[in-house]
Structure formats: C-alpha cells, structure tokens
Amino acid sequence: MLALIASAQYYYQHVTQEPFPELGILGPNQKIGDYPASLLEGQNFTLYLYVGNHEGKVMFFNVLVKLGNSSSIINNSTYLHANPIASYQIVLLNNQTWLNPITLSINETGMNMKLVFELWDYNTTTQAFQYTGIWNQLYINVTGAA
C-alpha cells in the first residue's frame, strides 16, 4: 500500500496541472517596450522571439509572423487571415524555453500596421498545425524609402 501511495505522489508531482504554451516578443535590447515604431520600407529590424512549453510533453510549435492593418481582426479563436511574412518552427521539451533574435523587414508602406505573431502547435492526430489562440501584435508605421 505504501508503494502505491508513493508512486501516486511521484506521478502527480510530475504531471503538469494546467498545461500552457508561452509566446513573447521582445525589442532589440531584449526588453518589453523598446519596439521599433517607425521604419522605412524594406528596412531590416531585429526583435527577439520567445516561446515556452509548459504542456507536460514535447511540443512542436510554429510561429507565424503576419502583416495586417488597423482593421485586421485577430483574437483567441480567429487567426489573422493573411500570408505569413516569416515562420519559425521550434521543438521544445516540457518546461523548455527558446529565445532567439529574428530579423524582419516590411516591404509595403502604411500607418498603424499590425505586425502579428501567432503561435501554432502540431496536432499529431490531424498531422497539421493548429492555431493555439495565443498571439501578440506590434503597431508599426512604415514609410517609403527616402
């Protein structure tokens, strides 16, 4: 009986109670809030992409970077219906995190453009990525080259 209780305690201590993934965007100095606000069309800029896995198992993630405008709709159930301008695929063990610099450029002009980051995970049943409902966005003004 003691062995059963001990093994049950061990098992439940190592089960993730509320599984969740994480997605974060940091500015070029690896801080929240130092994001570029104005860019020239085609200008390269660097951000840091953070993904964390607390799902209780190994996860295969895909972060899609998309560009929208001020009226583009994205929320926990609706992803942005736009073609990705970049994609980053990451495999993470449980409780593992990933922080890497990414270099992007925007090849069109506009004011209050939404730079959207969506977190997708791989569903082994459907053998396809599915939207997790987790996303971030930055507003950026992009003007023509001088």
Mean per-residue pLDDT of the chain:
91
Rounded Cα–Cα distance for residues 30 and 75 (Å)? 25
> What is the pLDDT confidence band of residue 16, given thresholds at 50, 70 and 90?
low
- pTM for the model stands at 0.86
Instruction: Collapse the DSSP code of 109 into the 3-class scheme (helix H, G, I; strand E, B; otherwise coil) and give the result.
Output: coil
- Torsion sign over Cα 105, 108, 109, 110: negative
- Torsion sign over Cα 7, 13, 18, 22: negative
- pLDDT, tens only, 58-70: 999 999 999 999 8
Rounded Cα–Cα distance for residues 90 and 98 (Å)? 8
- pLDDT, tens only, 77-104: 999 999 999 999 999 999 999 999 999 9
Considering the chain, what percentage of its residues have pLDDT values greater than 70?
Answer: 88
Mean pLDDT of 29-52: 95
Rg (CA), the chain: 19
Domains and CATH numbers, the chain: 19-143 (2.60.40.10)
Mean pLDDT of 16-33: 91
pLDDT at 8: 47
